[in-house]
Amino acid sequence: MACHEGNLRPAAMLLEASMTAVLVLVLLLLTSSARTARWTALVRWPVIAGLVWQGAPYTGTSSDPARSLGPALLAPLLGLSEIRQ
């Protein structure tokens, strides 16, 4: 996970985990009822856009830990220093 503007890694990780929790909670709440499930496709994109808009300045908002963690772990082994920040 890239930390922009000198943010501490634990704080960035907490922010990413919180944003993921919000997204999962919204999706679970929407799909928990047949009445609201049909709105899931319309609601998820504004939620994701809002999370990215608020989180991007601090963490880059990967929204998928596997896409961030995999390259970050392998970059030093492969000598790809431009990937790891």
What would the pLDDT profile of 1-58 be if each residue is shown by its tens digit? 455 555 567 787 788 888 889 999 999 999 999 999 999 999 999 999 999 898 888 8
Q: Average pLDDT of 75-83?
A: 66
pLDDT of residue 1: 47
Question: What does the pLDDT read at residue 84?
Answer: 46
Predicted local confidence at residue 12, as pLDDT? 78
H helical segments located in the chain: 9-31, 34-37, 40-59, 65-78
Residue 85 lies in a domain: no
Alpha carbon separation from 72 to 13, 24, 77, 82 (Å, rounded): 14, 24, 10, 10
Q: What pLDDT score was predicted for residue 44?
A: 92
Would you state the pLDDT for residue 27? 94
Residue with tokens 């030093």: 76
Per the structure, the complete domain to which residue 19 belongs is given by 6-78
Contacts of 80 (CB under 8 A, 6+ apart): 71, 74
How many Cβ atoms are within 10 Å of 23's Cβ, its own excluded?
16
Residue at 72 is within a domain: yes
Say if 44 falls within a structural domain: yes
Q: Is there a domain that residue 31 lies in?
A: yes
Q: Is residue 84 in a domain?
A: no
Indicate whether this model's pTM tops 0.85: no
Query: How far separated are the first and last CA of the chain, in Å rounded?
Result: 8
- How many domains does the chain fold into? 1
68 belongs to a structural domain: yes
**Domain membership flag for residue 83:** no
- 25 in any annotated domain: yes
